[in-house]
Amino acid sequence: VFSSRFLSRNRKLGWNDVSFTIQASGRHAPLHPSGEPMVKIGTDEWILPETSEHRRLSAIECALIQTFPADYIWKGNLGSIYKQIGNAVPCLLAKAVSKPIADYLKEYYSVNETQKKLETVI
């Protein structure tokens, strides 16, 4: 069962479309791309065809979109798990942002340690 508020927007994308934002609530998880697309019947009013099955993405599917490893072990109840996934920075994005910073800091401290050693010798 989907609320009219949930259905006020097109929540269903195709297999090759970029996912909607993964929110911190299972009630707002995007719809799985299987089945027929939603049909717009008015301003902010969409329906799901009755001739097709519809379901929200599972917590695991949402986690995969957020680039968590498939074998990641989640703790807590289902609502808590959706919240953890929705509040997370995608893993590969975090890695892409943090790696250059870590590389810079390693180089910076390596150079400074070498300079300090040279200063003590001189």
Please answer whether residues 85 and 63 qualify as being in contact, where contact means their C-beta atoms are separated by less than 8 angstroms.
yes
φ, ψ of residue 47 in degrees (nearest 5) = -130, 160
Tokens at 50, concatenated: 């009755």
Q: Is the pTM of this model over 0.85?
A: no
pLDDT of residue 83: 96
- Torsional sign, CA 39, 21, 66, 96: positive
Q: Using an 8 Å Cβ cutoff, are 83 and 24 in contact? A: yes
3-state DSSP assignment of residue 47:
strand
Residue whose token pair is 């195709």: 14
Q: Which helix (H) or strand (E) holds 104?
A: helix 91-121
Report the pLDDT value the prediction gives residue 111, as an integer from 0 to 100: 80
94-110 pLDDT, tens per residue? 999 999 999 999 999 88
What is the C-alpha separation between 43 and 13, in angstroms, rounded?
19
The pLDDT tens digits of the residues spanning 24-48 come to 988 888 899 988 889 999 988 899 9
pLDDT (mean) for 2-19: 86
Per-residue model confidence (pLDDT) at position 122:
64
43-89, pLDDT tens digit by residue?
888 999 888 788 999 999 999 999 999 999 999 999 999 999 999 99
Query: Has residue 12 got a pLDDT over 80?
Result: yes
Q: What confidence score (pLDDT) does residue 121 get?
A: 66
Predicted pLDDT of residue 95: 96
Tokens of 81: 């798990």
Measured CA angle at 31 (ends 30, 37), to 5 deg: 125
